[in-house]
Amino acid sequence: MQRLRWPLLCGALFIAAGGADAFTFADGTSMRCLVAGAPVEELPAPPSHPIVARGRIAVTERVGLGYRILWNDAQLKALPSDMHDFIFFHECAHASVPTQSEVTANCVGLQAMRTAGRAGFVVESKLAAFYGPGNEYWRKTLACANAFKASPKPPE
């Protein structure tokens, strides 16, 4: 996997007070996904969309020169709060890297979640429990995310 850099990881996310395209976390705060300074459109998936039919949570799609995230609101709302919040970072990572790899999106997403102050031992333990003991997918996610040294937070 290519070496991921600090600007890529942290430049992808921007905290916002709200707005139609802002993702609302379980605690009621909001954040927008930005890629190269442009907001990623976030919309509820229409009932006819394949992610709804397949029971998936979300999909990040290329649209012109940018991206959009379609959310299956029913599936998203059914998730435990920590997983609900992690999925935002995961989907934003699909656009910010960009990548089709689920492990890479998890890796970059977890790094961004840590940088945003929304992950740590307690949250990551709950995410691990969601995936189940010894889950190879989560093991690869942690190995990747832990391979990068902590960087200082960007100036606010």
Residue 150's pLDDT band (cuts 50, 70, 90): low
Among 14-28, 60-74, 77-91, 132-146, the minimum mean pLDDT is found in 14-28
pLDDT at residue 148, rounded to an integer: 78
Cα separation, 124 vs 134, in Å, equals 14
When pLDDT is averaged across residues 75-89 and rounded to a whole number, the result is 98
Could you tell me the pTM of the whole model? 0.84
Q: Are 142 and 149 a contacting pair, CB within 8 Å? A: no
Among 7-11, 59-63, 85-89, 118-122, the minimum mean pLDDT is found in 7-11
Q: The dihedral of CA 1, 4, 89, 37: what is its sign? A: negative
Alpha-carbon distances of 132 from 18, 69, 89, 129, 145, rounded to whole Å:
33, 26, 20, 5, 18
When pLDDT is averaged across residues 120-129 and rounded to a whole number, the result is 97
More confident residue, 19 or 122: 122
- Domain spans in the chain, listed from the N-terminal domain onward: 6-146
Cα separation, 65 vs 87, in Å, equals 23
pLDDT at residue 6, rounded to an integer: 35
Cα separation, 144 vs 107, in Å, equals 6
Give the count of beta carbons closer than 10 Å to the beta carbon of residue 123. Answer: 18
